[in-house]
Structure 1
Amino acid sequence: MQPEKQPLWRSILYPVIAFALVISLWWGSVEYFQVPRYVMPSPGDVWAHIMSDYATLWQGFQVTFMEFLIGFVVGAFSGFFMAVLMDASKTIRGVLYPILIVSQAVPIIAISAALTIWLGFGLAPKLVIVALVVFFPVVVNVLDGLRSVDSDLLRLARSMGGNSWSIFRHVKMPATLTPLFSALKLSATFSVTGAVIAEWSASTSGGIGAYLMQANSRLNTSGTFAAIAYLAVLGLVAFLLVILVEYLVTPWRTKPVVPRWSTRFWQK
């Protein structure tokens, strides 16, 4: 039995109510307790700063978004490819899996410092850091999806004349989609943090992370919160983009009838 689908208007209304409630509590607390503006600006102060420095913030947002987008795509594809290799070869899995686990014990900020020394202050270390944030969750989740395929189903596919490619495409690949998009949803927000850390350690082209660091060093709390607001928007946009791609790639999860283009893609 499928759970009852929530009406679209509720899906939109509830987040709007939650956002309005948070802004109201924030604004009311600042005004009621007379909090100094250098300690905690009101939403009105943050909005005024965004409007006064809109050009710089928007330019920084574009820089950070491109760093996130390219690094996210590279990390997702690299992680997926690595998971497929590890599933195909026990030797590769046995050698690389412990290395991947140990690599996660190293703080990302330490890696960013080393990458800055090796790759300089350009775009490359930022992309690598964002890709690394996405890489490990994708590898682990996709590998679990590939290894969870029923062995009887694989034997049935082979007995019906399926080769390695057709079995991967029609049996294994669909099994990886749910864990893959779960990993991508988590990585969508974490990779924004990775982009900010990268800009802190290797920033020459601006970005919201660099803007945040400058505002913080000048005790400009309005500018700090304005940068945080842009980063929150970036994280939300990233999450929604992953949901959109998931909706396009797996239409059968939300629709009783699969679109023709999807049917042709999966049955080729």
Structure 2
Amino acid sequence: MSNEKPKTISSISDSNSSSIFYPIISIIGLIFLWWAVVEAFDIPEYVLPGPFATFHEIILDWPELWHGFTSTGQEFVYGFIIGSLVGFVLAVIMANSKLLNKILYPIMIVSQAIPVIAIGAALVIWLGFGLAPKLVIIALIVFFPVLINVLDGLQSVDVDMLNLSKAMGANRWRIFLTVQLPATYVPLFSALKMSATFSVTGAVLAEQTASSQAGLGQYMMAQASRLNTKGTFAAIILFAIMGLLAFSLVSVWERLATPWKQHSKVPFYRQARIAHRDIPSSQVK
């Protein structure tokens, strides 16, 4: 019988506090290291501005930066959703059809081998400047990790569980909802967390190749062309914030959708001790 104590409100609160505390400390440490490097090596501001100069630039140019942040954020969200849905649907189709799997898998690999910038140039010719080519570029970056991870999850479903469900009279749709779909949760959220950061990069590339509107990527390129390093770093910081927000939102969604995965918070060396402690003494030789 397990001797593990039930979680109390205070223990849950402490756990949540620590999950917020350590990332904040890491960010503060990174900013301090940035400042220390600039001061220690006396790096000119036009080469590497310090954190205070960069934050001051953000405050001074906040209206334009915020407009670019919201514009790029909209592209990021739409492209992320489209790419995730396309990847998930394709994975389900390929997992349920060996013929389509053999036909589509090489095409999916080839789509990732072509440089995104080259695809962006073609998309501008086909779709023109505007929102559509940018969404396609972001979706192309997002869908492949989702496709591969969900496909692996569907193909690794326990055969005994499938046979048991069929023996109990479950139809194909019921089997998908109760057996196959839950098997995709862990790999799906792993892919979504990767894609959340990749799609920020995709948004930058999309604005560099297929944008005529004032997004954050356009702002960054404009500042770089003027040799305004502070403005360039201001945009980089906002891109980093966008990526952190996206990753955090997916992580929160993962916790809500997969409550059984909370054991992963326990370090691996403690998991072994807990497992050994929970074995009845009569079974221990």
Tell whether 2:40 aligns with 1:42.
Answer: no
Distance 2:164 2:18 in 1: 44
Q: In structure 2, give the amino acid aligned to 1:234.
A: M
- Deviation track 1:171-195 (CA, whole Å, cap 9, x = no partner) reads 0000001000000000000000001
What's the TM-score, normalizing by structure 2?
0.86
- Deviation track 1:38-87 (CA, whole Å, cap 9, x = no partner) reads 01101111011101100000000000100000110011011100001001
- Deviation track 1:3-52 (CA, whole Å, cap 9, x = no partner) reads x9982222222212211111112112212322111011011110111011
Distance 1:153 1:24 in 2: 53
Q: In structure 2, give the amino acid aligned to 1:168.
A: F
Does 52-61 or 22-31 show the bigger shift?
Answer: 22-31
Distance 1:213 1:121 in 2: 17
> Larger C-alpha radius of gyration, 1 or 2?
2
Q: In structure 2, give the amino acid aligned to 1:52.
A: L
Distance 1:152 1:13 in 2: 44
Q: In structure 2, give the amino acid aligned to 1:243.
A: S
Matched residue, 2:64? 56
Q: In structure 2, give the amino acid aligned to 1:26.
A: W
Give 3-state SS (helix, strand or coil) of 1:41's partner: coil
Give 3-state SS (helix, strand or coil) of 1:230's partner: helix
- Deviation track 1:195-244 (CA, whole Å, cap 9, x = no partner) reads 11000011122111111111111110000000000000000011011112
What is the aligned counterpart of 2:260 among 234, 244, 252? 252
What is the aligned counterpart of 1:80 among 88, 92, 99? 88
Q: In structure 1, give the amino acid aligned to 2:61.
A: D
Matched residue, 1:101? 109
Distance 2:102 2:138 in 1: 26
Runs (5+) with no aligned partner, structure 2: 264-285
Q: In structure 1, give the amino acid aligned to 2:205.
A: I
Q: In structure 2, give the amino acid aligned to 1:112.
A: G
Q: In structure 2, give the amino acid aligned to 1:20.
A: I
Q: Please provide the CA RMSD for this pair.
A: 1.7
Tell whether 2:53 aligns with 1:19.
Answer: no
Distance 2:186 2:25 in 1: 30
Matched residue, 1:124? 132
Matched residue, 1:168? 176
Tell whether 2:69 aligns with 1:67.
Answer: no
Distance 2:248 2:219 in 1: 24
- Report deviation, 1:249: 2.1
- Report deviation, 1:136: 0.6
Give 3-state SS (helix, strand or coil) of 1:238's partner: helix
Tell whether 2:154 aligns with 1:146.
Answer: yes
Does 228-237 or 109-118 show the bigger shift?
Answer: 109-118
Q: In structure 2, give the amino acid aligned to 1:21.
A: G
What is the aligned counterpart of 2:39 among 16, 31, 40? 31
Runs (5+) with no aligned partner, structure 1: 256-268
Q: In structure 2, give the amino acid aligned to 1:192.
A: V
Distance 2:203 2:116 in 1: 11
Tell whether 2:246 aligns with 1:238.
Answer: yes
Matched residue, 1:200? 208
